[in-house]
Structure 1
Amino acid sequence: MAKDSKLEARLKAVLDGLAAADQDGGNANAGTVLSMAVAAHPFDEQEAHLLSGGVPRGYKALTTATAKLVKAGWMVKGRGGWAITEEGLRALVAFPTAEELGAALAAGTPVPADIELPAPVEAEPQAAGPAAEPETAGPEAAGEPAAEPEAAGEPAAEQETAEPEASEPEASEDRSGQPESVAIAGDFAALLGGAADWAPELDEVQMEFHAPTLSWVRTVDLPAGTYSFKIAVNRSWAENYGAFGSFDGANHELNHGGGTITIHYRHDTKDITIS
């Protein structure tokens, strides 16, 4: 299979995985979906070659190519995972093979307007259990005398009306000019519980936005050692920053004595600091 054909097949597998997650009613973990796509269409020797950052060439190509699916409006990437859109579901119907889907992406071909959403797969009905026995009637139904009503005329006790507590307004979070997500992608993701190192799409390596300082921060606890990482934007290698905030630059090197550290990143200045 040609190189471009393999990439098209993996992109098709990514959409198929997202469609399956949508059927289950939720978003998909990016790392899981990408791993399934690679397992279905393994790397050849050239694609398995590790780049300077320790990332397989084919893996970087795949994560970068998923931006085409986002641009086409067929999927979205968020902090809660990846999800297929209705347009993406219709694209799987309109372009059922990897070759057709790849050609549509390359040419910017929209999904025909007459393509309908695929029908959801209905769950198999559960076997009916034994019929429930009728409930035993209470004493009134059985003919026993009902309890005498309380004497009327006594004034009901007045209920105190509780005044609602005033709630403090939540602080607004200014995200203008900020990316959807920022990750610390490096060779220590497995220590954070990630499925693989150098995988910016994993939930385990995402940073949190701190509005007061306009910074993205992440605190990690690492054993003593030397580590490498980059800042990756929007769960992809398409936009990443290395040493000195250089776009697609050399890796950050961290000589760590062990313990907890906090990594800070400002997207407006591309400054990366560690405390």
Structure 2
Amino acid sequence: MAKNANTAEKLDLRLKAVLDGLAGAALSGETVDARAVLTAAVDAVPFDEHEAFLLSGGIPRGHKALTTATAKLVKAGWMVKGRSGWAITEEGLRATVAFPTAQALAEALAAGTPVPEGTPVPTEPPAQKKTRKAPAKKKAAAQPVEAAEPVVAEAAATETSPGDSAEADSTAPGAVDLGQPDSVAIAGDFAQHLGAHDDWEPRPDAVQMGLDATSRRWVRTVDLPAGHYAFKIAINRSWDENYGAFGTFNGANHELVHDGGTVTIAYDHDTKDVAFS
């Protein structure tokens, strides 16, 4: 129990670091991507051995927990996730003042406590606490970030095969086009919903996308239950080449917050990014 409590406390510290990092960027007039925010949070509070354990797909357990937890900030209205990146809202800036500690922030999120009226918007970035990093833990934190792709999507309706997408007439999975890979997979934690034996596996036919001959995008329409999902784009049925948020090689996971039903995922191999519809 003590170990679990310590893990929860460190997760709260990292979540506070994410919000403070976004606040610092906003108040300094800087832009920051999800990977940088998550990496800074893990640098501030390094993973222990339990958190550094790699889950299916090579994702550290601690990264999965942190990127999942950021959904709480979105739900509270304190941050937004979009194709252009993550950003803190004005209410989120006020939250850094109203809930200045990790414990206060965690309690407010758990209880659904709003930012008190009259709380000012800060004019200076939150003070960043620096912690000492053990070399071994720092190495674990350097694994691909989990997460989370900062696009929140909602949709509803029936699963279709890769060739039946709404993107026009797609070729079958594995089709080849000039400059295109042999195959592209949506490898994530919803693979079993698509008929794969295991999640986070890039090899099964069940997770392959189809190449649209007109748009030259790889497309797949899937039918998923309501939930919070994460995935990456895996090239040629292997993790050797994979892309996450913002088209980053080995980057943060794409995230999908879904109300249930169908959603179409399209991958552009030129930009390495995805779009939902």
Q: Deviations over 1:218-265 (max 9, x none)?
A: x997889x997525xxxxxxxx5225626995234249xxxxx75322
Aligned counterpart for 1:263 among listed residues 214, 218, 228: 218
Q: Distance in 1 between matches of 2:197 and 2:80?
A: 23
Residues 241, 248 of structure 1: 8 Å contact kept: no
CA contact (8 A) 2:187 2:202 kept: no
Q: Which has the higher helix share?
A: 2
Aligned residue number for residue 119 of structure 1? 123
Q: Which residue of 1 aligns with 2:94?
A: 90
| Partner of residue 136, structure 2 | none
* Cα deviation digits, residues 88-137 of structure 1 (max 9, x gap): 1100001111111111111111111021111257xxxxxxxxxxxxxxxx
Higher relative contact order (CA 8 A, sep 6+): 2
1:42 aligned partner: 46
The size of the alignment, in residue pairs, is 183
The answer for unaligned runs of 5 or more in structure 1 is 122-194, 206-212, 232-239, 256-260
User: How many angstroms apart in 2 are the aligned matches of 1:48 and 1:198?
Assistant: 11
TM-score (ref. length: structure 2): 0.54
Change (3 A) 1:220 1:105: farther
Residue 230 of structure 1: aligned partner: 187
> Which residue, out of 73, 76, 88, partners 2:77?
73
Q: Which residue of 2 aligns with 1:241?
A: 190
Q: CA RMSD in A?
A: 4.3
Structure 2 unaligned residues grouped into runs of 5+: 126-141, 152-164, 171-176, 205-210, 212-216, 224-261, 270-277
* Cα contact 1:228–1:251 (8 A) shared by 2: no
Q: Percent identity?
A: 49
2:202 is paired with a residue whose SS is strand
CA deviations on 1:50-86 (whole Å, 9 max, x unpaired) are 1122211110000000000000111000100000001
Query: Aligned in 2, Cα 1:119/1:7: closer, same or farther, shift over 3 Å?
Result: same
Distance 2:62 2:47 in 1: 6
TM-score normalised according to structure 1 size: 0.54
Give the drift of 1:2.
1.1
Residue identity in the other structure for 2:187: K
Which structure has the bigger radius of gyration? 1
